A and B are shown apart, each in its own frame.
Chain A
Amino acid sequence: MIDFGFGLARSSAVELDKVDLSLYKELERLEPGIRKCIACGSCSATCTAGPWSGMSVRKLILNLQRGKDVSGMLSACMLCGKCSIVCPRGINTRQLILSLCRIYDNK
């Protein structure tokens, strides 16, 4: 292969029908409430750790739905549970984070 000194940029497009949803499905089985997320962002707005660490439950759920790894975000969570208090759809987000930690631990 000739090295031209440049390559093709990788597309940032997410192919919805091809993403690996195994992690999301596993979490969905433990925490079916995750399906009810409407991405309103209340959880992220109230998050004490969010502004300094990038922790965001909204992004966490969305990234899982798009087949992305979210392990980096989890360590920033202090499990204070404020996100659970504000969720208008009644998703137990604190429990959801704990369950996700458990899934990652078992891997």
Chain B
Amino acid sequence: MDNKKILIIGGGPAGLEAARQLLRLGWEPVIVEKTEQIGGHLSRWYKLFPDMMPASELLEQLTAGLEGAKVYLKTRVAYMNRLKDGYSIMLSNGTGIQCRAVLIASGFSLFDASKKEEYGYGVYDRVITNADLEAWFAGASDSRIPEHPRRIAFVHCVGSRDLKAGNSQCSKVCCMTAIKQAIEMKERFPDSGIWCFYMDLRLFGKKYEDFYINAQKDYGVHFVRGRVSEVSEAIDGSLVVKAEDTLAGTPVKLNADLLVLMAGMLCNADTATLARMVRSEVDSDGFLRSRDNIYRINESRRPGVFYAGACTGTKTIPETMAEARAAALDIHNYLCGND
């Protein structure tokens, strides 16, 4: 097989950046995206921490260098056969592709917040998720968000660090997203009070801690350590939020007119199917299993099958960008026989 094609499964940030780099290295990436547009979750986000860069700006940069890459939208991989020196792939649109390397960049799914029934997502009128709020920031209308919210509560770790919900992992980005969104809401509604209910604040990244201090110091966001136990609807449609203030050792209640649930990241439902198709493996957290989690995160245990981004675990966008570039270089070296 001497063609230069490389199949990339997933047209989100990881797939786009890897494609961009592979093009520059002289290869012919073919992106297969299951939805009707590229960009993944990024295309539905408004602004990115820590510099409040518009998500659309990053997306523009990612897509700008894509001329020459083949992109199939609303397409999935139907089946994949291992050849002597590569793979023969049939797409759901009937296109056949033969290539020596496959990059899986299938990303993650957002936790379905209605599964945490105690928070009332989809039941009460004033409960939304982090993704709903981003869509609203970006201009979508949302009747659940009141015109002048007086009290807004954020619930951290919805579907993350939750064995009962089937996700023991930390989603990494939600603590910071909650603080970012709290600040954005405070800027829109300066008279509102904002409370964040958290188990731990995991602010590991560059400038994250600064965001936290600013949220306290400049925006007066209140942080309550304690997981929200239940939410009920008052007769006027407002919400009664109950939690334990674990620092004071007393139960607390808050009457809020908007509740934002920080839905976490989890593996896609079809991860196991995908893993079977490339004869790779799923890790204990449901994400794809890398060769190791330190040095060869981009590699599967199958020759010619590589990973980038959140398909192997929860990732920030900077981490995803770095992995996409690393994967592109790994693939280049693999195809050039530079091992």
Given A35-B220, A62-B247, are A16 and B213 neighbors across the interface (CB < 8 Å)?
no
Give 1 or 0 for each of A35-48: 1 = CB within 8 Å of chain B CB.
11111000000000
Q: Is the CB of B151 within 8 A of A39?
A: no
Partner of B253, one of A15, A38, A39, A62: A15
Which chain A residues numbered 1 to 35 have a C-beta less than 8 Å away from chain B?
11-18, 32, 35
Give 1 or 0 for each of A64-77: 1 = CB within 8 Å of chain B CB.
01100000000000
Q: Is the CB of B213 within 8 A of A36?
A: yes
Which chain B residues numbered 148 to 186 have a C-beta less than 8 Å away from chain A?
151
Q: What DSSP secondary structure best describes chain B's contact surface?
A: strand
CA distance A93 to B253 in the complex (A): 29
CA distance A32 to B224 in the complex (A): 19
How many interface residues does B have (CB within 8 Å)?
A: 22
CA distance A39 to B248 in the complex (A): 10
CA distance A32 to B256 in the complex (A): 26
Q: Is the CB of A62 within 8 A of B224?
A: no
CA distance A65 to B250 in the complex (A): 13
How many interface residues does A have (CB within 8 Å)?
A: 21
Q: Is the CB of B255 within 8 A of A15?
A: yes
A102 at the interface (CB under 8 A from B): no
Which partner residue on chain B sits nearest A28 by CB separation? B220
For residue A65, which residues in chain B have a CB less than 8 angstroms away from its CB? 222
CA distance A89 to B209 in the complex (A): 11
B195 at the interface (CB under 8 A from A): yes
For residue B220, which residues in chain A have a CB less than 8 angstroms away from its CB? 35
Which chain A residues numbered 57 to 105 have a C-beta less than 8 Å away from chain B?
58-59, 62-63, 65-66, 89
Question: Which among A18, A38, A59 has the greatest number of chain B C-beta atoms within 10 A?
Answer: A38
Partner of B251, one of A12, A32, A63, A89: A12
Partner of A89, one of B193, B213, B247, B256: B213
Given A65-B222, A66-B245, are A15 and B216 neighbors across the interface (CB < 8 Å)?
no
Which partner residue on chain B sits nearest A16 by CB separation? B254
B5 at the interface (CB under 8 A from A): no
Q: Is the CB of A17 within 8 A of B254?
A: yes
Q: Is the CB of B251 within 8 A of A13?
A: yes
Q: Is the CB of A15 within 8 A of B225?
A: no
Q: Is the CB of A16 within 8 A of B248?
A: no
Give 1 or 0 for each of B211-253: 1 = CB within 8 Å of chain A CB.
0010011001011110000000000000000100101101111
Given A17-B151, A17-B193, are A39 and B247 neighbors across the interface (CB < 8 Å)?
yes
Contact surface of B with A, Cβ cutoff 8 Å: 151, 193, 195, 213, 216-217, 220, 222-225, 242, 245, 247-248, 250-256
Q: List 9 A-B contacts (CB under 8 A).
A: A14-B248, A14-B252, A14-B253, A15-B252, A15-B253, A16-B222, A17-B254, A36-B216, A59-B248
